[in-house]
Amino acid sequence: MLKPIIPLSSLHVSIASGMVKVCFGKQMWRSIELARSELRLELTLACGQSFRWRETAEGHWTGVMGGRVWTLTQTDTRLWYYVYKHQQDSTHRRWTEEDREPEAKYEVDVKAEALPYRGEEEELLRDYFQLNVNFEELYKDWGERDTHFKKTADIFSGVRMLRQDPTECLFSFICTSNNHISRIQGMVERLCQSLGTKLCLLDETSYHDFPALSTLAESSVEVRLRDLGFGYRAKFLQQSAKTILDSHGSHWLGGLRNIPYLEARDALRTLSGVGTKVADCVCLMSLDKPEAVPIDTHVWQIAKRDYNFVSNTGQKTITDKLHRDIGDFFRKLWGPYAGWAQSVLFCSDLKKFQHLKKTPVTKEQKREIKCEADDNETVQCKVMKKEKIKAQRPMSKKTTKVTGR
């Protein structure tokens, strides 16, 4: 029998084919047990993997995923999520301690194989963040292989690789050519608002789904996107969508998940505006190829500066051979999840996260700094200095004897 640990008035329970399904009477925050060491939202969602997430309140990230609008936040032990209804005209929902209610956990005594029903939204979230991968074990393995990574991992834990929709990932990364993260975000947002289906309105901001392949392939799209400031990328977007539909079909991109990494990468490179780096990003971030290591000038500098990587030919630009050589170097160093490890170092090198590398100053250190800078010492400062000098003096034999008792 079902024994709910939340009020019966707040849920409806149905049992069919041995499966337990729970439907809540009102919309609410849900959560997944997940430590920050396994996922840090502020790093993972802002390091240039996806361009659909914004920090809409302190520690609250709102974005579009799986045709839904979400707000995510986290505590030390749980990932909290709120999913907005379509066409909802409302304000962003902020998580508070009042939302910390018992989870829908049940003692189930139906069929032996029956399991608690997680719900479609939780499954989407688990798939998106690839929660089936034990990230702490990966960090441990990389740290044992690489001392430089171990130092970085102590600060940048939880930089998790997303598993994005292949269409959204591909066409977002076509926009990254000669671009930076904030500008790419703006372009992707304009693309969705112009061509995507509206999902809901929050705080006077419209949220739209990513455009379908059929929409992107329309002949009028190039001109429309040029008017929106996409420049030469407008042609790449429209032509790539048309090529996929005309030559491969609408399910082709998803099917690349089922073929080897190098085959998938070469297939992507046949599309307009897709070079080796973009193809590797798509392979890593949406096509289940964790060994793909995207190489740009930023990663090349990391390889040279932190790993003493030297090209045999001394190139000044990234050729296909150099891309392969650096990728192979990191794959040999980090193993089958090399692309995940590379993303941690890439994130740690972004300017927006450099403040995390600074050692925080304790209250005691702040007081000492203030004392040293103050010409007119207070009594408290004099006491601190006296205690500091006393602590630095070597113990006398008499003191040692007394202490030994």
Q: Residues with catalytic annotation?
A: 277
d(CA 211, CA 167): 9
What phi and psi, each to the nearest 5 degrees, are found at residue 375?
A: -70, -40
Contact 287, 166 (CB under 8 A): yes
Could you count the other beta carbons within 10 Å of the beta carbon of residue 371?
17
Could you count the other beta carbons within 10 Å of the beta carbon of residue 34?
22
d(CA 299, CA 276): 14
Contact 141, 335 (CB under 8 A): yes
Sequence-ordered alpha helix ranges (H) in 247-319: 252-255, 261-268, 276-286, 297-307
Beta strands in 129-258 (DSSP E): 198-202, 205-208
d(CA 115, CA 107): 10
Contact 339, 292 (CB under 8 A): yes
